[in-house]
Amino acid sequence: MTAILSPGTRVLPRYRGYAFDLDGTLYLGDELIPGADRVVQELRDAGSRVVFVTNKPLETSASYAAKLTRLGIPATPDDVVSAIDALVRYLRRYHPDATLLPVAEHVVTDELHSAGFETTPHPERADVVVVSFDRTFDYDKLTRAYQAVRRGAAIVATNPDPYCPTPDGGLPDCAAMLAAIEACTDTRAEAVVGKPSVHMAEAFLDRLQVPADQAAMVGDRVLTDVAMGQAAGMASVLVLSGATSAEEARSAGLDPAHVVEDVRGLLPA
C-alpha cells in the first residue's frame, strides 16, 4: 500500500480540481475534521476548483451546503453532488417516463417529484423500484418492492454503502435495504448510481469542469472513493479519518495514489 503521510511530511501534487467526500472526510457527524476548513480554503485560494460528493441521500444539496457553510466551509447547492443527483441523471437517461416506487425517505421522493417523475406506492403501477438509504425501511416496504419486481419492475439503487459512519459507530445504509430486495426477488439491481459508479463520476466531473486526469478524488472509503477515482482516471487520496483504518486500507486490494491521516495531508505543514 502507498505509504501513509502525516500532515506536512511531504507535499502532494497540486490538482486543478478536487472532489471531496463529506462524512468521514471533511466532517464526522456534526463535527468538522480538524483543519478541513483551512485546507479547502487554501486550495480554492490557489485556484483549484472544489466540489463535494456524497453517497448519503438523506439531505438535499442545499442542506449539505448549509451544513458545510455552518462548519466553516462556504458552499452553495451547486457545489454539492449527491447520490440523488446521480439517480435523477440516470433515470432521465434510461427511464425518462417511468413510474417509480421508492424504498426511500421523503427527501428522495421529494427530489424525484421536483425532477418531474411520478411515484407510486402501488406495486402494479411501478416501472422501477428506487432503493435508497432508508431509516423507515420495514416489512411493508419490502413486500411492495417484492411485488413490483415480480411484476417486472427494474431495481435502481442510490449507493452501495453497507453502513454510514457516525460518531457512535454507524447506521445500516442502502446496501442493507438493497440486499433484502435482491434476496427475495432473486433479481439484481440494474444500476447502483452512487460512488463508485461511472454515473456518479460523470455527474461530479460535469460539475467540476476539470479533466479527470487533472483532478483528485478525496475520501475515506477504498471501495467507493478510491475505486471511483481510479476508474474515472483521477488521482485518488484516501484519508484515514473516517470509515477506513490503516489496516483495512492495506488489505483492500486497491492502491490509492496517496494515503493521508486526514485532509490536512493535502497541504504542507
Mind telling me the catalytic residues? Answer: 21, 23
Strand bridging mode 31-32 / 49-54: unpaired
User: CA dihedral in degrees (152, 153, 157, 160; nearest 10)?
Assistant: -10
Entry field: residues in the chain: 269
How far is residue 79's CA from residue 38's CA, in Å, rounded to a whole number?
17
Residue 140 burial class via C-beta count within 10 angstroms: exposed 0-12, middle 13-18, buried 19 and up: exposed
List of residues 6+ apart from 261 with CB closer than 8 A: 4, 5, 6, 7, 239, 240, 241
Cis peptide before 268 (omega within 30 of 0): no
